[in-house]
């Protein structure tokens, strides 16, 4: 089994900025959390309303270049480790498009894509009611991996 490449795209909002005019450091952790939440919603898991939930145990992040208001960026992530009740995702983000230009001005794409940050996040699966650690459901694991031919796993026997 090989990890699937998952992608979330978003733009930088003015409210994400700090006094230096760049994205405030803590917001990168929110971007990572939002990327996972968006993917979970697309496969039918709504956090706070699901029998299986995830909580963050640890996050490590490394910055390469800042993000600015209006930039469009992608967060690519995949499964890197799976334990009994925990799993680790690795994230890599790139600014892919500058802020939109003023009307009738062209867009200059020099310098894009630009690597902005990478991260590792360790999550623990928990029961939605008791909050006790539980294994990841097979069907969710199947959404995170492909077989060696590049197709989604069936979830059976994983």
32 located within any domain: yes
7 located within any domain: yes
Residue 117 burial (C-beta neighbours within 10 Å; 0-12, 13-18, 19+): buried
Separation CA 37–CA 39 (nearest Å): 5
154 located within any domain: no
- Contact status, residue 141 vs residue 134, Cβ threshold 8 Å: no
Supply the range of the domain harboring residue 17.
Answer: 2-100+108-141
If one compares 108 and 115, the residue with the highest pLDDT of the two is 115
How many domains are there within the chain?
Answer: 1
Which ranges of 13-157 would DSSP assign to H, the alpha helix?
A: 25-42, 138-144
- Tell me, what's the pLDDT at 152? 54
50 located within any domain: yes
Separation CA 32–CA 25 (nearest Å): 12
> Given a cut of 80, is residue 57 above it in pLDDT?
yes
Separation CA 158–CA 154 (nearest Å): 8
94 located within any domain: yes
25 located within any domain: yes
pLDDT in tens, 62-92: 999 999 999 999 999 999 999 999 999 999 9
pLDDT in tens, 86-110: 999 999 999 998 876 666 666 666 7
Q: pTM score, two decimals? A: 0.85
146 located within any domain: no
């Amino acid at each position: 089994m090989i990890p699937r490449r998952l992608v979330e795209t978003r733009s930088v909002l003015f409210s994400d900025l700090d006094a230096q005019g760049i994205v405030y450091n803590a917001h990168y952790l929110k971007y990572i959390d939002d990327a996972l939440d968006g993917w979970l919603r697309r496969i039918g898991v709504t956090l706070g309303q699901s029998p299986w939930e995830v909580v963050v145990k640890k996050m490590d992040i490394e910055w390469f270049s800042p993000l600015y208001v209006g930039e469009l960026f992608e967060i690519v992530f995949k499964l890197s480790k799976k334990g009994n009740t925990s799993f680790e995702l690795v994230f890599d983000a790139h600014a892919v498009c500058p802020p939109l230009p003023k009307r009738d001005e062209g867009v200059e794409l020099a310098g894009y894509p630009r690597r902005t940050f990478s991260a590792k996040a360790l999550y623990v699966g928990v029961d939605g009611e008791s909050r006790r650690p539980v294994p990841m459901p097979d069907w969710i694991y199947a959404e995170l991996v492909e077989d060696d031919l590049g197709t989604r796993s069936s979830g059976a026997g994983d």
